[in-house]
Chain A
Amino acid sequence: MPRESLNGSWVRAALVEHEAALIRYARSVVGDADRARDVVQDTFLRLCRQQPDVVRPHLRAWLYTVCRRRALDVLRKERRMHTTTDSVTWNLPTALDDAPAQQAEAGETRQRLLAELETLPGKQREVVRLKFQAGLSYRDIADAMDLKVGYVGYLLHTALKTLRERMA
């Protein structure tokens, strides 16, 4: 019994800490909050099946790795059903999404920055999110995306360079 309870509390602590950020991240991949929720729920359900002491040292990286794979699975499944990939718009109109109030408050720079970010190639965009939204290290990002650390550095550098130029 104690073990069960403690496992519950461990997952719960992880949930409290990472839920919101993970959903935001998942949403950036799948496009809408509902599917993002599903992806994140699934991620945590998988976490329940992990051994705490194995996962805990790199919990954050683990969560984002799993979450990313799940999100991509969702997208892949969809693309398989519809042969078109290029014309799929990733971001839904936010009107029916969550409260737009915060968006209104957000500064213009942020808006522009995010808009510019959307114009970057997919991998760069993703690396930027994993770095600045999820706070992962180069190493963690490399694990999550199955890339070499050096390549992550290159991607991030290129992305930031482009953004700097455009924002200037």
Chain B
Amino acid sequence: MTHDHDHHDDAQLTAYALGELTGPEHADARAAVEARLATDPAARAQLAELRALAGDLTDAFAAEPAASLTPAQRNAIADAATADPPPTRRLLFTGLPAAAGLAACLLIAAGITMLAQQPADRPGLDLGGSTALHYDADTADRDASPDDDVRGIARGQVERERQEQVDALLTRAMEMRMEMRYDRAAELVDRALAIDPDKPATQAMKAGLEDSQRMVAYRDQRRLRDTRMSESSIQNSEATQPYSEIITYPHDWPELTVRRLAELESQPAEGQVETRVYDVRDLLVEVPNFENAPQFSLESTSGSKREHSGNYGPAAIAQDSISVGGGTALRPATETTAGEWFGGIARNANATRLTPREIELFSYTEGEPTPDAVGFSQEDVNLAIARNESGKVYGINGVIHAEQLHNMLGRAPQRGQVVIVNGRRFRLEPAPQQDDAWRFAPITATNERFAPIEDNPFRDVWAEPLSTFSSDVSTGSYTTLRRMLAQQRRLPPADAVRIEEMLNYFRYDYSAPADADAPFAANVSVTSAPWAEQHRLVRIGIKGYEPEAGQRPAANLVFLVDVSGSMRPNDRLPLLKQALTELVQQLGQDDTVAIVTYAGSSRISLEPTSVVERQRILRAIDQLGAGGSTHGADGIQTAYRLAEENLLEVGINRVILGTDGDFNVGITDRQELARMVEDKASSGIELSVLGFGMGNLKDETVELLARKGQGQYAYLDGIDEARRVLVEQLGGTLHTIARDVKLQVEFNPARVARYRLIGYEKRIMPTEHFADDTKRAGNIGAGHTVTALYEVVPAGVADAAQPQTVAERRIEIGSEVEVRIFELIQPGKMATFRREVDAAGRIELPVIGKVEAAGLSVGQLQRRIVDRLAEDEVLRDATVEVRVVRAAEPAAAREPMRYQRTTELTDAADSDELLTLNIRYKLPDAPMDTANTSKLIQVPVADSDQAWEQADADTRFAAAVAGFGMLLRDSPHKGSADFAQVIEWAEAALGDDPHGRRSEFVDLVRTARDLHGDE
């Protein structure tokens, strides 16, 4: 018999099945349903089905993965619960003494545990019991609730199985707890709770476990704090590279906890980051109209990758995008993706101006010339892309199927392949525990900053017979890369490798000049270039005059010490203190020392004090301590003021800055800072920089300051290096024997077709500045050596006639250049500027101001402008084009050309001479009127066809060092060099090696070779 039920009846049946119709108020409804059930078998069947479904649903939900709050979240709740009690009206517990109440709170876990363990035998209820009672009552309430009644009926058999599962899980959790494997135990308990959230024994165990975990965490924290100092170096490397890439540590290694904490800290706070899930419909973007987009010619631009000419405008790029999944090809989001590929790096012109709807993907494998422009496939892409407020991509959650990724990238994904999503770089990794799935691992950004370096190109001797550069005695780059290789076991980034600083780290046995009036001896050797058989290698060695001990003039030293929090690790402030202590031990009675510290504010820790009071100075050094943030500029001003107040007319005035380079000053201030340092240097106060630490080090900043300050930049990676710089070379570090030392090499076109200066990219000077005594250059200290290498293509060899590309042409004073910067002025537009290089060798551009141009190649200027735009936070990774509109002939140098007049050869050209080395310098102590006039030393050099094997050990070792530098930089000019050869060259040229530094170099090359092989 069937009834024609309306919807209401069915809904009532459902309510009945779910136990809703229990109270007296539902008596009528209940009666109606029961009456229907009695007469209608279909209704009965429906009831049974409903109950079964209810049971299934309950089970299904219970089986969903469980999650619990983090300990931090729980603690926050616990704090809120105790700190902010609402007024309570029921005074149930007021009879208890205060202390007992507190104890009750503390004992809650214990109470519950007792309950769980002794269910038959209820414990005495005086203290813990009050809480336990309350807990129990709550449970009892719930047990009596009508819901549970029904659920109990519905579960039946399933319920028993679940209880068995729960018991099994608890038993295993108990075992884990005995083994103190709390995390595993907690996991098991969570699973038990997922099955039955209400079981008191499980809950009690969870509470107990959490207490244990917290205790363990607390103990770990304490252990961490105690060992913090010894861990610092590991933390530092952690900042630059994820552990997983270096070495695997045991899971409970304390540093890992530190890393997790650091990760937590580094995650932007709530509100700063929004996570959103994109599916592909979001990613569909409008194809912009490219027809009106500017087309620009490539002829003028540099970069070896773009030497083919033709239109390479946005339209061309858009056509490159890949059609995938059989659907519409997705174009890169906007025309702004008309990127510039520099040496395999995608440079996105508009990275700062993306809206959330725009997304582009670039992928490339490092070292590959042309990255693939990529779109998304039509298929679903389930990726959560997190952005920060400015729209910058911050992370990508989720995994992607290999096939999909293949479609997106237009190639099979490879582990380690780099993918750029809106400017953020990710490395592809196979997803753990899933086949054919990939994830995007963010490439950890490092705090270290190295200014980009573009290798000096080969220059044509007919077009550019003169090569001019400033001397340099800095060594920081070598110690930096030594630390990366030896301590962190990673290859340094190319821009961290400055070959001149590597060369000048080593001692070479050049003959010294006899007296201070001729402060240099030049020592030039020519042999074959070991990495290019037909090329010649010219090694220029300059040795400064070495005064006898005691001849050093008095020194007025101001130590400017960074005591910000980042200096706390052992390899920073403690090392600096040790270094300064040793330096003070070496000082004489005529010297004075002052100490200025800076962090949140600057402070004079020691007024200028004569070394007669050595103990006072040492005490002041000893009391230096780190803490606070950094404001570099204030401290520098104070230090200069002290140095000025105490200025020595004859003697050494120097500020010695010790820092990890983390100046908390704005970018514009950095330029200002550099100008001030330059200013002070011309009034006689030099600045030397001692760099410390790794990770925070703003290499380019400290290098720039030392360069402008006429001083030396040394990176101290340990006490040995500190001793080398401050103690062994005390004379050189403190005693300048010549100022503004400039080198200019004139090549003989009858002998030399092309030449290339190896390194010294940052020290290149415009030709005209060589003889211009108002232009400053590097200083040389007592006993310092300067080593420079030229690779020379002799006239007449096979590749001698290779024409110089436009990008390699050198920009001269008076040249007119055209600079085009994408979106500097208007979105989507190139801004074009034509500028003549002024007499100071600079061009002035809007927004960024004057940029030094003379002496650079087109490519180098381009690089410099990109760098400046980024530095001034105008455009990141800007697209910049530079071309020479009108090339100026190099202005006549003040020295008459030895080998050629315009295009005619002189008689001297018809000699064996390969080149002439010109050195200009000023004597440091000469009276003011003559000090401003430079002196000139000229050294003609002939090539005696010396073979590589016959060359002296110093030359061969320097060649090995240069070869190593080129390999680390992956220079286009490295020729046939490889690590094995470098090792061979260096090992055959160790010489006496009194401090073992050359052997150490060989070890570094081996390390680099191994690391390189791993890649």
- Asked whether B588 is an interface residue with its Cβ less than 8 Å from the other chain, the reply is no
Q: In this complex, which of B15, B60, B146, B270 has the most chain A Cβ atoms within 10 angstroms of its Cβ?
A: B60
Which of A13, A111, A154 is close to B134, meaning CB atoms less than 8 Å apart? A13
Closest-by-CB residue of A relative to B56 is A113
Once the chains are docked, how many angstroms separate the CA of A93 from the CA of B397?
9
Which of B56, B77, B81, B434 is close to A95, meaning CB atoms less than 8 Å apart? B434
Once the chains are docked, how many angstroms separate the CA of A94 from the CA of B96?
49
Closest-by-CB residue of A relative to B61 is A133
Which of A31, A50, A78 is close to B86, meaning CB atoms less than 8 Å apart? A50
B7: A residues at CB distance < 8 A: 154, 157
Q: Give the interface size bracket for A toward B.
A: 35 or more
Interchain CB contact under 8 A, A161 and B10: yes
Which of B59, B81, B276 is close to A82, meaning CB atoms less than 8 Å apart? B276
Once the chains are docked, how many angstroms separate the CA of A164 from the CA of B439?
38
Once the chains are docked, how many angstroms separate the CA of A56 from the CA of B972?
75
B82: A residues at CB distance < 8 A: 4-5, 7-8
Closest-by-CB residue of B relative to A57 is B141
Once the chains are docked, how many angstroms separate the CA of A15 from the CA of B112?
14
Once the chains are docked, how many angstroms separate the CA of A112 from the CA of B95?
55
Interchain CB contact under 8 A, B73 and A37: yes
A147: B residues at CB distance < 8 A: none
Once the chains are docked, how many angstroms separate the CA of A27 from the CA of B439?
22
Kindly provide the distance from the CB of A10 to the nearest chain B CB, expressed in whole angstroms.
8
- Asked whether B194 is an interface residue with its Cβ less than 8 Å from the other chain, the reply is yes
Known: A20-B194, A41-B73. A2 touches B81 (CB 8 A): no
- Asked whether A84 is an interface residue with its Cβ less than 8 Å from the other chain, the reply is yes
Known: A20-B190, A45-B77, A51-B88. A113 touches B60 (CB 8 A): yes
Interchain CB contact under 8 A, B277 and A89: yes
Closest-by-CB residue of B relative to A81 is B274
- Mask, A10-42, CB within 8 Å of B = 1, is 111101111111011001000111011110110
Interchain CB contact under 8 A, B18 and A131: yes
A84: B residues at CB distance < 8 A: 281-282
- Asked whether A72 is an interface residue with its Cβ less than 8 Å from the other chain, the reply is no
- Asked whether B110 is an interface residue with its Cβ less than 8 Å from the other chain, the reply is no
- Asked whether B936 is an interface residue with its Cβ less than 8 Å from the other chain, the reply is no
| CB proximity to A under 8 Å, residues B779-799 | none
Interchain CB contact under 8 A, A95 and B104: no
Interchain CB contact under 8 A, B61 and A20: no
Kindly provide the distance from the CB of A104 to the nearest chain B CB, expressed in whole angstroms.
11
- Asked whether B842 is an interface residue with its Cβ less than 8 Å from the other chain, the reply is no
B80: A residues at CB distance < 8 A: 11, 44-45, 48-49
Once the chains are docked, how many angstroms separate the CA of A54 from the CA of B965?
75
Kindly provide the distance from the CB of A8 to the nearest chain B CB, expressed in whole angstroms.
4
- Asked whether B252 is an interface residue with its Cβ less than 8 Å from the other chain, the reply is no
Interchain CB contact under 8 A, A88 and B277: yes
Interchain CB contact under 8 A, B85 and A7: yes
Interchain CB contact under 8 A, B191 and A153: no
Interchain CB contact under 8 A, A20 and B60: no
- Asked whether B90 is an interface residue with its Cβ less than 8 Å from the other chain, the reply is yes
Kindly provide the distance from the CB of A41 to the nearest chain B CB, expressed in whole angstroms.
4
- Asked whether A119 is an interface residue with its Cβ less than 8 Å from the other chain, the reply is no
- Asked whether B442 is an interface residue with its Cβ less than 8 Å from the other chain, the reply is no
Interchain CB contact under 8 A, A78 and B191: no
Interchain CB contact under 8 A, B84 and A51: no
Once the chains are docked, how many angstroms separate the CA of A85 from the CA of B276?
11
Closest-by-CB residue of B relative to A31 is B277
B206: A residues at CB distance < 8 A: 16
Which of B11, B68, B384 is close to A153, meaning CB atoms less than 8 Å apart? B11
Interchain CB contact under 8 A, A89 and B279: yes
Which of A6, A37, A82, A135 is close to B93, meaning CB atoms less than 8 Å apart? A6
Known: A23-B66, A102-B191, A110-B59. A17 touches B102 (CB 8 A): no
Q: Which of B46-54, B315-323, B625-633 touches A?
A: B46-54
Known: A24-B64, A95-B437. A9 touches B77 (CB 8 A): no
Once the chains are docked, how many angstroms separate the CA of A24 from the CA of B87?
32
- Mask, B72-103, CB within 8 Å of A = 1, is 01101110111111111110011011101110
Q: In this complex, which of A16, A41, A94 has the most chain B Cβ atoms within 10 angstroms of its Cβ?
A: A16
- Asked whether B738 is an interface residue with its Cβ less than 8 Å from the other chain, the reply is no
Interchain CB contact under 8 A, B77 and A11: yes
A38: B residues at CB distance < 8 A: 73, 270
Once the chains are docked, how many angstroms separate the CA of A99 from the CA of B187?
9
| CB proximity to A under 8 Å, residues B378-429 | 382, 384, 397-399
Interchain CB contact under 8 A, B65 and A98: yes
- Asked whether B33 is an interface residue with its Cβ less than 8 Å from the other chain, the reply is no
Kindly provide the distance from the CB of A144 to the nearest chain B CB, expressed in whole angstroms.
15
Q: How many residues of B are counted as interface, with CB atoms below 8 angstroms from the partner's CB atoms?
A: 91
Secondary structure at the A interface, as helix, strand, loop or mixed, is helix
B94: A residues at CB distance < 8 A: 2
Interchain CB contact under 8 A, A44 and B77: yes
Once the chains are docked, how many angstroms separate the CA of A13 from the CA of B902?
94
Once the chains are docked, how many angstroms separate the CA of A113 from the CA of B64?
12
Once the chains are docked, how many angstroms separate the CA of A16 from the CA of B132?
13
Kindly provide the distance from the CB of B675 to the nearest chain A CB, expressed in whole angstroms.
44
A89: B residues at CB distance < 8 A: 277, 279, 382
Interchain CB contact under 8 A, B86 and A164: no
Which of B59, B104, B431 is close to A5, meaning CB atoms less than 8 Å apart? B104
Known: A48-B77, A89-B382. A16 touches B66 (CB 8 A): no
- Asked whether B247 is an interface residue with its Cβ less than 8 Å from the other chain, the reply is no
Known: A7-B85, A95-B431. A2 touches B102 (CB 8 A): yes
Interchain CB contact under 8 A, B66 and A5: no
- Asked whether B557 is an interface residue with its Cβ less than 8 Å from the other chain, the reply is no
B53: A residues at CB distance < 8 A: 160, 163-164, 167
- Mask, A98-138, CB within 8 Å of B = 1, is 11101101100111011001000000000011011101011
- Asked whether A97 is an interface residue with its Cβ less than 8 Å from the other chain, the reply is yes
Closest-by-CB residue of A relative to B62 is A133
Once the chains are docked, how many angstroms separate the CA of A91 from the CA of B740?
67
B101: A residues at CB distance < 8 A: 1-3, 5-6
| CB proximity to B under 8 Å, residues A33-86 | 33, 35-38, 40-41, 44-45, 48-53, 56, 78, 81-82, 84
- Asked whether B105 is an interface residue with its Cβ less than 8 Å from the other chain, the reply is yes
Once the chains are docked, how many angstroms separate the CA of A93 from the CA of B279?
12
Once the chains are docked, how many angstroms separate the CA of A53 from the CA of B191?
32
| CB proximity to A under 8 Å, residues B630-650 | none
Closest-by-CB residue of B relative to A40 is B69
Kindly provide the distance from the CB of B95 to the nearest chain A CB, expressed in whole angstroms.
9
Once the chains are docked, how many angstroms separate the CA of A155 from the CA of B84?
40
Kindly provide the distance from the CB of B73 to the nearest chain A CB, expressed in whole angstroms.
4
Interchain CB contact under 8 A, B203 and A17: yes
- Mask, B263-299, CB within 8 Å of A = 1, is 0000000100011110101100000000000000000
Interchain CB contact under 8 A, A45 and B76: yes
B59: A residues at CB distance < 8 A: 110
Interchain CB contact under 8 A, B277 and A20: no
Once the chains are docked, how many angstroms separate the CA of A52 from the CA of B86?
8
Kindly provide the distance from the CB of A143 to the nearest chain B CB, expressed in whole angstroms.
15
A33: B residues at CB distance < 8 A: 67
Interchain CB contact under 8 A, A4 and B18: no
- Asked whether B135 is an interface residue with its Cβ less than 8 Å from the other chain, the reply is yes
Once the chains are docked, how many angstroms separate the CA of A111 from the CA of B63?
10
Q: What are 20 A-to-B residue pairs whose CB atoms are below 8 Å?
A: A2-B104, A5-B102, A23-B69, A35-B275, A37-B70, A37-B73, A41-B77, A51-B86, A51-B89, A94-B65, A98-B66, A102-B65, A102-B66, A110-B56, A110-B60, A133-B58, A157-B10, A157-B11, A157-B14, A164-B50
Given A5-B101, A93-B399, 9 additional A-B pairs, CB 8 A: A4-B83, A4-B85, A8-B105, A11-B78, A23-B69, A44-B80, A53-B88, A88-B276, A96-B397
B-binding residues in A (CB < 8 A): 1-13, 15-21, 23-24, 27, 31-33, 35-38, 40-41, 44-45, 48-53, 56, 78, 81-82, 84, 87-89, 92-100, 102-103, 105-106, 109-111, 113-114, 117, 128-129, 131-133, 135, 137-138, 153-154, 156-157, 160-161, 163-164, 167
The 9 closest A-B pairs by CB, nearest first: A2-B101, A5-B105, A110-B60, A133-B61, A11-B81, A132-B57, A157-B14, A48-B80, A8-B81
